[in-house]
Amino acid sequence: MAAARPTLDDLFAELRARGLRATTARRAVLAELLVAGDTHLTADELARRIHADHPAVHLSTVYRTLDALAEAGLIAVARFADQPVTYHLAGDVHHHAVCTACGATINLPAEVLAPVQRRLARDHGFVADPRHLTITGTCAACVDGAARPSPSER
Amino acid sequence: MAAARPTLDDLFAELRARGLRATTARRAVLAELLVAGDTHLTADELARRIHADHPAVHLSTVYRTLDALAEAGLIAVARFADQPVTYHLAGDVHHHAVCTACGATINLPAEVLAPVQRRLARDHGFVADPRHLTITGTCAACVDGAARPSPSER
DNA sequence: CTTGATGCAAATGGTTTGCATGTTT
DNA sequence: AAACATGCAAACCATTTGCATCAAG
């Protein structure tokens, strides 16, 4: 079920298969997303990293590329609270539990949602294709540790 | 568990109990949210409605009020895709299934998430307090109706 | 050579903020 | 009076867009 992590060339081929043109900017974006693994990157972070090798690639191009890749289903989009949108390669679909106290996030395998999907199907005939959920709550550490400074506060 | 729908005075009392001041703007915001029921309103929509009776209440005040009310736990925040943030009274916690084909949204009772919450607790000691989730997918109509024009397309 | 992609700069739009003033307590 | 809330206008910042140029097919 979980596709093995693809190579850059796989991704690039996939991209061309969808009728998108093979450009340096796009290769760079895919390369960075590949390096990032399951980390989530914003358009800006992505652009910054790309600038190291390709100073000419413009932020707006990164946005356009991300749009294209998302539309093509190559990447997934995740939005956390009021932070800027983040992206990561599709195929590694997962969800998040975010601690509202300390900001910690736990990655959850896609299948945690299975029961919900079943229920939606049964009750509403709704075929769920959950791409990215964020479940808020309190992590174990904060539950018993109670008050504690927040590492990734706004 | 599900609190009966409160009156405006209940809410207002609650607000003061939290140490917030009782102002016209805040009363107006709460009043509109109460009228809205389980509909989700953006700050702008809210401001527009409030302007009917209180033309002086400024949009920025609405934002500040919403922040305050959210912080106080009186209202809940929902964010849909790339649309502006929406608000509704807390207490009516629910989730959404949104059809990516036709845009239809189904409100789901909070308890559909119970299995997920249990699992998070068991596997990660994470106490979930899911406030608002949006699950994407395809609604029954679009599943069998297949291709069909989208009423609320971008 | 045709169409899609890019760079750049400028516009957008939701949301936030600084500050002086008005209100609540 | 003191602390807080508001109105207003200006600032912010992520994202989008128009357009002329460039590169991929």
Angstrom distance (rounded) from CA A68 to CA A63: 9
**Residues with Cβ < 8 Å from B86, sequence gap 6 or more?**
B40, B41, B42, B77, B78, B79, B80
Task: Name residue A76's beta-bridge partners.
Answer: A88
Strand C bases, protein C-beta under 7 A:
4-10, 13-18, 23-25
pTM for this predicted structure: 0.84
Mean pLDDT along residues B60-87 = 93
pLDDT digits (tens, 9 = 90+) for A90-99: 877 788 888 8
Distance B65 CA to D4 C1' (A): 13
Q: Round to the nearest angstrom and report the end-to-end CA distance of chain A.
A: 36
Closest partner residue to A143 among B79, B99, B125, by Cβ? B125
> Residue A151: what pLDDT?
43
Angstrom distance (rounded) from CA B125 to CA A147: 17
Nearest Cα to Cα of residue B93 among B40, B14, B30: B40
Report helix, strand or coil for A136.
Answer: strand
Query: Cβ of A126: how many Cβ atoms within 10 Å?
Result: 25
- In A, what residues contact B, Cβ < 8 A? 79, 82, 85, 97, 99-100, 106, 108, 112-113, 115-116, 119-120, 124-131, 133-140, 143
DSSP calls for A54-122 = -TT--HHHHHHHHHHHHHTTSEEEE--TTSPPEEEETT--EEEEEETTT--EEEEEGGGGHHHHHHHHH
> Residue B3: what pLDDT?
55
Closest partner residue to B97 among A100, A120, A135, by Cβ? A120
Residues of B with Cβ-Cβ distance to A138 under 8 angstroms = 126-127, 129
> Residue B145: what pLDDT?
67
From the Cβ of B24, is strand C under 7 Å away? yes
> Residue A82: what pLDDT?
86
Structure-token match 């527009």, residue found:
B48
| Residue B126: closest C-alpha in chain A | A139
* pLDDT confidence band for B87 (50 / 70 / 90): very high
Query: Cβ of B148: how many Cβ atoms within 10 Å?
Result: 10
Token pair of B36 as six digits: 């809205």
* Phi and psi, residue B25, nearest 5°: -60, -45
Q: Do A116 and B119 touch (CB under 8 A)?
A: no
Tell me: pLDDT of A47 over 70. yes
> Of A134 and A126, which is predicted with more confidence?
A126
pLDDT digits (tens, 9 = 90+) for A71-116: 999 999 988 888 999 999 987 778 888 887 787 888 888 888 999 9
> Of B87 and B103, which is predicted with more confidence?
B87
